[in-house]
Amino acid sequence: MTSPYPLLSILGIVIGALSIAASLIYVERRLLALWQDRYGPNRTGYFGLLQVVADAIKIFMKEDWVAPFADKPVFILAPAVIFVTVLMSFAVLPVAPGIIVSDLNVGLLFFLAMSSLGVYSVVLAGWSSDNKYALLGGMRAAAQMLSYEVFMGLSLMGVVVLAGSFSLPAIVEAQRKMWFVIPQFPGFVLFLIAGLAETRRIPFDLSEAESELVAGYHSEYSGMKFGMFFVGEYMGITLISGMISVLFFGGWLGPVFPGVVWFFIKTFVFISLFILLRAALPRPRFDQLMSWGWKVMLPLALVNVLLAGAAVLLWR
C-alpha cells in the first residue's frame, strides 16, 4: 500500500514534520506555562503565535561558533545526524491510508534502528566538543540509550505478536476491532517510558542536565547547530507520539473525521503528555535511571512478551 503520489506524500510528511517540530517550540512554552499558572509567550502576533518566527530569526542570526579545540568535522556532523535519523524514521510513519513515504515490511524494525542511530549524534557531539561536561553528557546519553533501547524494542514485540506483522500500516489495520493499548497496556507504558528516554526529555534528560552539566552534550554548540539539536529533539517527540498513536491507539482509525485528523489528534495528545511529564516530574539520579532500566523495565518487558506470546498461542 504505497502512496499514489509518492513525491507529494514525501513532501507533505517532511514539511509537516518540520513545521510541527517548529511549532512545538511555541506549543511547549504555552503548555508549560499553562501548568505553571502563567501565560507563556503571548506578545508576538495573535496569542504569541509569531514567537516561532522570532525564535527562528534569532537563532539564524546568532554567531555560528566552533570552538578552536573542537574536532571540527565531527562537531559539524553531529547535529546533522540526529536530524537525518529522525527524519528517516518519519519515512515509515503511516499518517493515513496511502500517506506514507515507504511501506516497509520491516517498518517497525527500521524505526527502532534509526532511533538507535540517533544516539551517535549525542555521543559524537559530546566527544568532539572536547569539554568535560559535554563528554559526560554524551557518555550518559550512550549508557541511557543502550539500556532503554533494549526494552523499547521488547515492549513492542507484544504488538507485533498481536498484529502478526512488522509493517506499520498492517499494525494499524489490525487494530480495527480493538486498540492494542487494551491487551498491551504494559507494553504501552514501557514504550512510553522508553520513548521518553529515547527523546531525552525532562525526566530522562540526564545527558543535558543543566543543573549538573551546564548543557550536557550541546554545551559548546551555538546558533543553528544548537537549533538542529533542538529541532531534532522536537521531531523526536513528534515521532514517538506518532508511533504511540500508531502502535497502541489505532493510528488513523476513528469515526466521523478523516484518518489524518484522527492521527493528528492522537499525536497531539501524546505530545501534550510529554510536555506534561516535563512540567511534573523531576530528573532521577543517574544510577537510579540505570537500575530502573535494567532491573525493573527489562524484566517487565520480557514478562510482557512472554504473556503476549502465550495468550496468542492459546486463543488462536
Interacting residue ranges for another protein, rule: CB under 8 A: 34-39, 276-277, 279-281
- Cell numbers of 263, please? 492521527
**Which of residues 277 and 302 has its CB atom nearest to another protein in the complex?**
277
Return the number of other C-beta atoms located less than 10 Å from residue 10's C-beta: 16
**Which of residues 97 and 203 has its CB atom nearest to another protein in the complex?**
203
Minimum Å gap between C-beta 128 and another protein is: 36
Minimum Å gap between C-beta 17 and another protein is: 27
**Which of residues 24 and 96 has its CB atom nearest to another protein in the complex?**
24
Minimum Å gap between C-beta 29 and another protein is: 13
Minimum Å gap between C-beta 176 and another protein is: 31
Residue 215: beta bridge partners?
none
Three-class DSSP category at 257: coil
Taking the C-alpha atoms of residue 33 and residue 20, their distance in angstroms, rounded to an integer, is 19
What does the radius of gyration of the chain's CA atoms come to, in whole angstroms? 20
Alpha carbon distance, N-terminus to C-terminus of the chain: 27
**Which of residues 30 and 225 has its CB atom nearest to another protein in the complex?**
30
Minimum Å gap between C-beta 32 and another protein is: 10
**Which of residues 34 and 150 has its CB atom nearest to another protein in the complex?**
34
**Which of residues 260 and 276 has its CB atom nearest to another protein in the complex?**
276
Residue 96: beta bridge partners?
99
Minimum Å gap between C-beta 42 and another protein is: 8
**Which of residues 141 and 192 has its CB atom nearest to another protein in the complex?**
192
Q: What are phi and psi of 99, to 5 degrees?
A: -95, 85
Minimum Å gap between C-beta 285 and another protein is: 15
Taking the C-alpha atoms of residue 225 and residue 116, their distance in angstroms, rounded to an integer, is 21
Minimum Å gap between C-beta 279 and another protein is: 5
Segments in 5-131 forming alpha helices (H): 6-35, 51-61, 72-90, 107-128
How many CA atoms within 13 Å lie on the side-chain side of 198? 30
**112 in Cβ contact with 153 (< 8 Å):** yes
Taking the C-alpha atoms of residue 82 and residue 114, their distance in angstroms, rounded to an integer, is 9
Q: Which helix (H) or strand (E) holds 211?
A: helix 210-213
DSSP 141: H
Return the number of other C-beta atoms located less than 10 Å from residue 243's C-beta: 25
**Which of residues 150 and 276 has its CB atom nearest to another protein in the complex?**
276
